[in-house]
């Protein structure tokens, strides 16, 4: 990698997420376009558009892919340069001049695109939750190890020094004593329906949007921003906010390389009836609206995932407790930081010694200078496994036993089968 590209990326990383939409800085204009990383963006609605813009502001926008032509072409037209637009992401991956791929599709497409991007030699930034099933997490970790590509997951709370990293550092410092309980409050999902089945809009390739999932009639509320309220495509709040808050909870108890021993569905409410773990109606949202799931970890530590208290993470030890969310960090151990600050380097250690340049900046820094990003694929797979297990437990309505080392459900063949899903012909994930 050239010195020019290295200098450029360090400069742009320093400005963090506040970079403008289009390149306007003197540094960017002066730098040769051929010396910057080539960027490809797959799925550019909502958060996908946000991460795509952030990445393109740090390199050259080469191509965009989206099965919704209206959203894709609109996004492409607002980028600097002359990026190409494709409906099929595989055409984007064929570009040899693309170094980095951002993925902001619905959840059920994340793993297949990410795996194929790494296999094509691209570094990947993918929105959370990374996977639809536990098996997909195992597959994506396998390919990440084989290819050695830099992979950042979009759990941006891991880059929040003032709030979440400070809370985790307090927990790791011993100031809470032995931690015996953590709580991830993530809110409840909506009910809704019955919804009308109609023809899909002309600009949307509905068949490809469905990907690996069973082919069904188009319902407007199934896609775009509402896809996460259907188990076919996501996991509801458990994998939406759970991917953020369960992540911080497991980080606090130093369980990013393991998982729970048992998962108990204390309470759960779904908006439709279930049979053998699957919804029996196809025209209503089907993910849980209310829940309390109790996960037991080694060392007699309990993680409660619930919907009915203040959104955020509560970390409790025998010497104190702290509460953190995106608006506040509270508790006596926090107040004591004024007179007794954390040891020097405590936050740096969590950030793996990398420059703290924002979530996307950290990703680019690792591409240029090496090292593992703050939200690596391997630990994300572990925390998301907890979220997936919680979903399986409430769908079946019974406690599950989990073997963290073998990464499999124990003593329940029906539940174990739900670690993976059948994939529609033509959309299978291949590793």
Domains of the chain, start order: 3-156 (3.40.50.720), 158-343+377-417 (3.30.360.10)
pTM of the model: 0.92
Q: Are 399 and 390 in contact (CB under 8 A)?
A: no
Residue 426 gets which letter from DSSP? T
Residue 51's SS3 state is helix
Taking the C-alpha atoms of residue 206 and residue 289, their distance in angstroms, rounded to an integer, is 27
Find all residues with CB under 8 Å of 30, minimum gap 6, and list them: none
Residue 348, CB-side half-sphere exposure with 13 Å CA sphere: 6
pLDDT values of the chain reduced to their tens digit, one per residue, 431 residues: 333 344 334 433 333 333 322 323 333 333 444 479 999 999 999 999 999 999 999 999 999 999 999 999 999 999 999 999 999 999 999 999 999 999 999 999 999 999 999 999 999 999 999 999 999 999 999 999 999 999 999 999 999 999 999 999 999 999 999 999 999 999 999 999 999 999 999 999 999 999 999 999 999 999 999 999 999 999 999 999 999 999 999 999 999 999 999 999 999 999 999 999 999 999 999 999 999 999 999 999 999 999 999 999 999 999 999 999 999 999 999 999 999 999 999 999 999 999 889 999 999 999 999 999 999 999 999 999 999 999 999 999 999 999 999 999 999 999 999 999 999 999 999 99
Find all residues with CB under 8 Å of 106, minimum gap 6, and list them: 43, 209, 223, 227, 228, 233, 234
Taking the C-alpha atoms of residue 44 and residue 51, their distance in angstroms, rounded to an integer, is 8
Among residues 51, 235, 230, which one has the least CA distance to residue 156?
A: 51
Q: How far is CA 369 from CA 75, 118, 188, 418, in A?
A: 30, 19, 41, 40
């Amino acid at each position: 990698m050239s010195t020019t590209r290295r200098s450029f990326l360090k400069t742009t990383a320093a400005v963090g997420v506040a970079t403008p939409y289009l390149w306007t800085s003197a540094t960017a204009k002066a730098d040769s376009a051929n010396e910057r990383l080539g960027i490809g963006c797959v799925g550019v609605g909502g958060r996908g558009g946000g991460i795509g813009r952030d990445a393109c502001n740090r390199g050259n926008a080469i191509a965009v892919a989206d099965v919704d032509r209206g959203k894709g072409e609109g996004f492409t037209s607002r980028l600097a340069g002359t990026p190409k637009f494709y409906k099929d992401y595989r055409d984007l991956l064929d570009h040899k001049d693309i170094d980095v791929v951002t993925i902001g599709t619905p959840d059920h497409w994340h793993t297949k695109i990410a795996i194929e991007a790494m296999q094509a030699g691209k570094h990947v930034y993918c929105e959370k939750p990374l996977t639809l099933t536990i098996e997909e997490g195992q597959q994506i970790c396998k390919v990440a190890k084989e290819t050695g590509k830099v992979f950042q997951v979009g759990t941006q709370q891991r880059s929040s020094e003032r709030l979440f990293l400070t809370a985790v550092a307090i927990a790791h410092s011993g100031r809470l004593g032995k931690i015996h309980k953590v709580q991830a409050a993530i809110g409840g999902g909506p009910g809704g329906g019955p919804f009308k089945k109609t023809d899909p809009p002309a600009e949307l390739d509905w068949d490809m949007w469905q990907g690996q999932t069973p082919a069904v009639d188009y319902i407007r509320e199934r896609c775009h921003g509402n896809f996460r309220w259907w188990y076919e495509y996501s996991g509801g709040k458990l994998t939406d906010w759970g991917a953020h808050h369960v992540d911080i909870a497991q980080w606090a108890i130093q369980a990013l390389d393991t998982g729970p021993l048992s998962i108990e569905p204390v309470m759960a409410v779904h908006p439709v009836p279930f049979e053998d773990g699957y919804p029996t109606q196809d025209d209503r949202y089907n993910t849980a609206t209310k829940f309390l799931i109790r996960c037991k970890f080694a060392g007699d530590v309990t993680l409660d995932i619930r919907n009915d208290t203040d959104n955020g993470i509560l970390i409790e030890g025998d010497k104190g407790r702290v509460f953190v969310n995106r608006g506040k960090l509270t508790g006596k151990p926090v107040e004591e930081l004024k007179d007794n600050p954390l040891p020097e380097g405590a936050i740096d250690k969590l950030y793996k010694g990398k420059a703290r340049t924002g979530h996307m900046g950290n990703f680019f820094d690792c591409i240029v200078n090496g090292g593992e990003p703050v939200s690596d694929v391997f630990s994300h797979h572990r925390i998301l496994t907890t979220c997936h297990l919680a979903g399986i437990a409430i769908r079946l309505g019974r406690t599950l036993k989990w073997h963290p080392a073998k990464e499999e459900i124990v003593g329940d063949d029906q539940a174990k089968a739900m670690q993976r899903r059948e994939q529609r012909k033509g959309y299978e994930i291949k590793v």
